[in-house]
Amino acid sequence: MSLATPTAAPLLRPLPDSAYRRMTLVLRAGLLTALALLLGALVTYLGQHPGASSGVATATGSIAPYLSLGGLGHGLATGAPGAYLALGVFVLIATPILRVATGLYYFHRGHERTMALVTFAVLALLVLGVLVIGPWIR
């Protein structure tokens, strides 16, 4: 009677350091871009409305006209601070989605099927939340 030796589970191959550095770079670049857009738009808004408080700025719905693609494009072309605030928020929302997509790319490229599937599920939920559930709630 022979005892079967258990087979070793396949070892997960860690991603190369360059992949982690690139994924970190995506987060940093997105965050810094969003902060620059938001800060620049805020300074411009306060320059145009010197007596405005944060309560007045939020009560007026200064980014509401720029939440559509056409409105955003027109606002950016005319230099409206609210359009740049909206763009900063969009970049801030898109940054983690892009980070997850980058992770999916590297897991797929490294033949990490399980991690690629999990990352794909996370990406699908993020996109569903932003593009379907978010507008539906609004």
pLDDT tens per residue across span 75-131 = 999 989 889 999 999 999 999 999 999 999 999 998 889 999 999 999 999 999 988
In a domain, 8, yes or no: no
In a domain, 6, yes or no: no
In a domain, 2, yes or no: no
Task: Provide Rg for the chain, Cα atoms.
Answer: 22
pLDDT digits (tens, 9 = 90+) for 50-63: 877 666 666 676 78
Distance CA 18, CA 24 (A): 10
- Cα 37 to chain centroid distance, Å, stands at 14
Residue-wise over 88-115: b if at least 16 C-beta within 10 A, else e? bbbbbebbebbbbbbbbebbeebebeeb
Distance CA 122, CA 104 (A): 10
In a domain, 131, yes or no: yes
- Kindly report the pTM of this predicted structure: 0.75
